[in-house]
Homo-oligomer: A and B are copies of this chain.
């Protein structure tokens, strides 16, 4: 079972992902793609961590998602979030969509349930900044790649998970 959860900021993506992960068992591997680069991000990470059950394992991996997923052991693996992973790869000038395909192509080898959190970033005004436009484009394409290879996809709106792919 591979699940993608997408939605706007503060739409309840992470809470729903954590609830879903817990439904698979107690031993959840939480893969954090955030790096505590600045004060605001540090606070956000700390808030997220304080909400997670103490028996979860946290792996911090900003870039190499593929290897982390291949080696993770537990009842479920939760990756939060793909959008920061995209940001980290863009900063390293990687071929991000290519990297996304390298991750989804290992899906058949993975038997532990995988849950990915990502963001909707393309429903506002076109940004002035060309880098922001590129980021929107790449983030959107990566969401499409993961959605295509996941069994279930949810869009969260105001805390409500709306299933948009998978048997209901």
The interface of chain A, by Cβ under 8 A from chain B, is: 4, 6-12, 40, 118, 120-127, 130, 132-133, 135-141, 143-144, 146-148, 153, 155, 157-160, 162, 164-165
What is the total number of copies of this protein in its complex?
Answer: 3
A128 to B162, CA, bound (A): 29
Contacts A9-B122, A125-B121, A125-B124 given; does A158 touch B136 at CB 8 Å: no
A133 to B41, CA, bound (A): 12
Pick the residue among B125, B140, B160, B162 that contacts A11 (CB under 8 A).
B140
Q: List 24 A-B contacts (CB under 8 A).
A: A8-B122, A8-B140, A9-B123, A9-B136, A9-B137, A10-B143, A10-B144, A12-B144, A40-B130, A120-B123, A121-B124, A121-B125, A121-B126, A122-B124, A125-B136, A143-B159, A144-B158, A146-B158, A147-B157, A153-B157, A153-B160, A155-B158, A158-B164, A160-B165
